[in-house]
Structures are given as structure tokens and as C-alpha cells.
Structure 1
Amino acid sequence: MPTIWYRNDQKISPGDVMKFAVYAEHVSRQCYDVFEEDGSRSRSEALSRRAQAVSDSLDFGDEPHFLAETTKKVLALRDMVSGMCFDTFGERGHMGKSMDLLGMARDVDEVLEKLVIYHLSPEELEEAETEWTHESQFYAKIEGDNLTRDEPGTGASA
């Protein structure tokens, strides 16, 4: 688990605060994380509490600043939503994350980059690099205007 360092020299704007607010609002109204066999869904108390905790702790001033405790609340909500939390549902039990939710999550991650630094131990760094190397083999390589896949069985050059 990486160590998280909280920045004191935060460079966030009121617009960044609004990204957190919109995300927490969407999660509290549109996302579900409890699913029953009969197809019903509900929001867990933990998810509701985390979304409300984020909303309650936001600094909407002209020069916002987040305490480490507030940032921890945002991280906890983001981690919960990135798991088994969905806001799009379809036929035959399909569950997914909407483009809106994915875009908001990306915005939250961009603001979090201004608030925290992730520090990996040498072992964690080695493990992450190994995983990245493994995962990268499944992505197409773009060289100029050519799209290619080097691995056998994944298709030829496009």
C-alpha cells in the first residue's frame, strides 16, 4: 500500500472544489453498491455516509485549502466508487459506470494530484513496474499513422 503524503502548498481553485462537490452529489443520488438477487439495488449506509462527509467538509472559499482529513474523505469515497459502485443499469442485470461518472472520477483524480503525493516503497515500485509491463502488452502501439500489435495472436498490423 503506497504511503500518501499530503501537500501543504495546495494550488486548488474554487472550480476544483466544485468538481468534488459534483462528484459527491452524483454518487449520493445516482450510484448504488448493494445488489440483491431479485434485481433490486440500494445504496449502502457506508457509501451514503462517505458522500455526505465529502460534501460537508468542502471549503467553498475564494482561496480553498483542504486539511489532510478532508482529502482522506475524498480518497475513501473515490476508492469505494471505483470498486463495486455503479450508476448505469440495463437489461439482464447489466451494471456499469456512465461516461459522466467516469469523467467526474478523472476530474477528481486530477484535483487529487494537487493534494497528495503517492510514495511507493522499492518493493511496491518493482511490483507496479512489473504489472505495468505486463498490462502494456495488451495495448496497441501507435507509431506515426500505423497501429500495430506485436504479440502473436493479437492480430497483425492495422
Structure 2
Amino acid sequence: MPTILYRNDPDIAPQDVMKIAVYAEHVGRQCYDVFETDGSRSRSESLSRRARDVSDSLDFGDDPYFSPETTKKVLDLRNTVWGMCFDYFGERGHLGKSTDLLRMAQDVEDVLDKLVIRYLSPEELEEAEAEADWAHESQFYPKIEGDNPNIIPRDDKGFGASA
């Protein structure tokens, strides 16, 4: 888990507070995180509470301030929305995040960059680098037969069959 340090004197503008408020409002009204097998969806009490807590804790004054508690609430809401929270629903049960939600999420990230500094421990940094290397290099590994029906079958020596 990364270490999060809260900045003592963040440079926050009233527009930053509005970005967070719009995000919390959208999540509280448009996003769902509970999905039933019959196709119905609902908003969990946890998601509703997180969105409400963020909205209730915002400072809309001329010189806004985000306390560490408010910042933590914003982080908690953002983490919840990154998970199984969707506001776009297509045909045959497709779940997605709308372009509006993705833009708002980027706005929230921009505000959070003003509020917090994230540090990874040496172990976390090493793990993240290894994961990034694996993801990059895995695209070059041959697929094993059975993983994907569109892959060329192999001969008995492990080479792709020739045509």
C-alpha cells in the first residue's frame, strides 16, 4: 500500500472544489456497483455514503481548504469508483464508464495531485517495475495452444505448423 502524505498548504481554487462536487454528485446519482444476475442494478449504501460524505465535507468558501479527512474521503470515493462502479450500460449486459465519468475522474486526479504526495516503498516500487516489465514483455511471448482459438496450432516439436 503506498504511503500518502497530505500537503499542508495545497493551492486549491474554488474550481477544484467544484470538480470534486460534480464528481461526487454524478457518482451518487448515476453510478451503480451492485449487479444482479437478472440484469438489475443498484447502488450500495457504501457507495452512496461515500459520495454523500465527500459532498458534505467540501469547503465552498472563497479560500477553500481540504483537510486530510476530506482528502481521505475523496480518495476512498475515487478508489471505489475505479473498481466495480459503472454509469454506462449497453446491450447484453455491457457495463462501462462514460466519457463524462472518465473526464471527471481525471479532474479528480488533477485535484488530488495538489493535495497528496504518493510514495511507494522500495518493495512496492520493485513489484510495480516487475509488473510493468512483465506486461510489456508478455506481448512478445507466443501464445500456448488452447489459450486462444485464433492461434496457429503447433507441431510436435513446439513450432507453429506451416501451411
**TM-score per shorter chain, which class?**
0.7 to 0.9
Structure 1 residue 137, shift from structure 2 partner = 4.7
Letter of the 1:116 counterpart: V
Letter of the 1:47 counterpart: L
Using the alignment, how far apart are the partners of 1:30 and 1:133 within structure 2? 37
Q: Secondary structure at the match of 1:17?
A: helix
Structure 1 residue 11, shift from structure 2 partner = 0.7
Structure 2's unaligned 5+ residue stretches are: 143-163
Percent of aligned pairs with the same amino acid: 71
Partner of 2:14: 14
Partner of 1:96: 96
TM-score (norm 2): 0.83
Structure 1 residue 38, shift from structure 2 partner = 0.8
Structure 1 residue 50, shift from structure 2 partner = 0.2
Letter of the 1:93 counterpart: G
Structure in which a larger fraction of residues adopt strand:
1
Letter of the 1:122 counterpart: P
Partner of 1:69: 69
Structure 1 residue 152, shift from structure 2 partner = 7.1
Structure 1's unaligned 5+ residue stretches are: 140-150, 154-158
Using the alignment, how far apart are the partners of 1:130 and 1:18 within structure 2? 38
Matches for 1:24-43 after TM superposition, within 5 Å: 24-43=24-43
Matches for 1:8-157 after TM superposition, within 5 Å: 8-137=8-137, 151=140
Using the alignment, how far apart are the partners of 2:35 and 2:54 within structure 1? 24
Q: Secondary structure at the match of 1:5?
A: strand
Are residues 54 and 122 of structure 1, via their aligned partners in 2, closer, same or farther at CA, if it must alter by over 3 Å?
same
Structure 1 residue 91, shift from structure 2 partner = 1.2
From the CA coordinates, give the structure whose radius of gyration is larger: 2
Using the alignment, how far apart are the partners of 2:44 and 2:114 within structure 1? 30
Using the alignment, how far apart are the partners of 1:104 and 1:130 within structure 2? 30
Q: Secondary structure at the match of 2:12?
A: coil
Partner of 1:143: none
Letter of the 1:73 counterpart: K
Structure 1 residue 132, shift from structure 2 partner = 2.3
| Aligned residue pairs, count | 142
Q: Secondary structure at the match of 1:73?
A: helix
Q: Secondary structure at the match of 1:117?
A: strand
Q: Tell me the C-alpha RMSD between the 2 structures.
A: 1.5
TM-score (norm 1): 0.85
Using the alignment, how far apart are the partners of 2:123 and 2:26 within structure 1? 37
Letter of the 1:7 counterpart: R
